[in-house]
């Protein structure tokens, strides 16, 4: 088995992302957030955008899953091969990309894209999926990791308040490729449940690295109690 994948087994990956227009959206801030996550015991980092990826790769000695969110179309996570190559060149060990069956802006298939990333960069590929069928197809297309990242974020899946642990367990039973639980994991107990559901590793973003959202959780709970 690949050493990086073995390293991530049953461990926590922290997603360090800020969104357009937000106060923390600078590569130096995300670098510092990633360093803080590493100090807390993260086994890997997930980061968005070539500048953040490059800054984090230089500062943090952990496996780095990179992506590039671009566009308002359905397929926005590392939508084309060009995006994927840029993410790998910026220093990501793993390129996370849209793993659905929806048409990609460059007209390539998922399988072609994965093969080209492997051939041209040597990086691993994480396919961000939203359904069991997509995960099975992504594994067959050569993905090294399959994530539940997009469950609740495609037009044909519904967004539960918590993580989609049913999808984690269905995928873990159906495919040999390691399954990464990602999306709306907001508590340590949910992260542990994801492992029990069969996840190889767990990605947590918002609940660790997005202070505006976390502040909102507290503020609205207090508003309800007033």
For 62-80, b/e burial (b = at least 16 CB within 10 A) is: bbbbbbbebeeeebbbbbb
Sites of contact with ligand LRY (CB under 6 A)? 15, 17, 67, 149-150, 153, 182-185, 203-207
**CA nearest to 209, candidates 12, 21, 11, 24:** 24
- The nearest distance, CB 182 to ligand LRY, in angstroms, is 5
Instruction: Report which residue's Cβ sits closest to ligand LRY.
Output: 205
Least distance (Å) between residue 213 CB and ligand LRY: 8
Q: Work out how close the CB of 47 gets to ligand LRY at its nearest, in angstroms, rounded to a whole number.
A: 9
- Cβ closest to ligand LRY, residue 31 vs residue 184: 184
Q: How far apart are CA 164 and CA 145, in angstroms?
A: 17
Report the Cα 176 to chain-centroid distance in Å. Answer: 19
d(CA 206, CA 184): 8
Is the CB of 15 or the CB of 100 nearer to ligand LRY? 15
> What one-character DSSP code corresponds to residue 104?
P
> Which residue lies nearer to ligand LRY by CB, 44 or 183?
183
* Exposed/middle/buried for residue 119 (C-beta within 10 Å: 0-12, 13-18, 19+): exposed
Nearest approach in angstroms of CB 226 to ligand LRY is: 27
45 and 39 Cβ atoms separated by less than 8 Å:
no
Is 1 or 159 the residue whose CB approaches ligand LRY more closely?
Answer: 159
CA-to-CA separations, 215 to 19, 40, 203, 206, 207, in angstroms, rounded? 16, 20, 20, 11, 10
Task: Give 149 or 170: the residue with its C-beta nearer to ligand LRY.
Answer: 149
DSSP 180-199: EEESS--SHHHHHHHHHTT-
Q: How far is the CB of 65 from ligand LRY (least distance, A)?
A: 9
Least separation in angstroms between CB 163 and ligand LRY:
8
> Which one, 80 or 149, has the nearer CB to ligand LRY?
149
């Amino acid at each position: 088995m690949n050493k990086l994948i073995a390293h991530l087994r049953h461990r926590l990956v922290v997603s360090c992302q800020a969104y357009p227009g937000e106060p923390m959206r600078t590569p130096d801030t995300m670098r510092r957030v990633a360093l803080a996550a590493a100090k807390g015991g993260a086994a890997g980092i997930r980061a968005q955008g070539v500048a953040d990826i490059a800054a984090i790769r230089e500062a943090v000695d952990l496996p780095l899953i990179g992506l590039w969110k671009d566009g308002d179309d359905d397929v926005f996570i590392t939508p084309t091969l060009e995006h994927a190559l840029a993410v790998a060149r910026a220093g990501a060990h793993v390129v996370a990309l849209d793993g659905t069956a929806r048409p990609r802006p460059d007209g390539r298939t998922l399988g072609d894209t994965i093969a080209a990333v492997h051939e041209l960069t040597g990086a691993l590929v994480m396919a961000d999926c939203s359904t069991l069928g997509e995960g099975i197809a992504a594994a067959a297309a050569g993905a090294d990791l399959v994530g539940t990242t997009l469950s609740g974020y495609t037009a044909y899946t519904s967004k539960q308040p918590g993580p989609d642990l049913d999808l984690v367990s269905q995928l873990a039973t159906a495919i040999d490729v390691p399954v990464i639980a990602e999306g709306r994991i907001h508590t340590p107990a949910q992260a542990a449940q994801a492992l029990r559901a069969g996840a190889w590793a767990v990605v947590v973003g918002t609940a660790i690295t997005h202070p505006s959202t976390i502040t909102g959780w507290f503020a609205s709970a207090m508003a309800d109690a007033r």
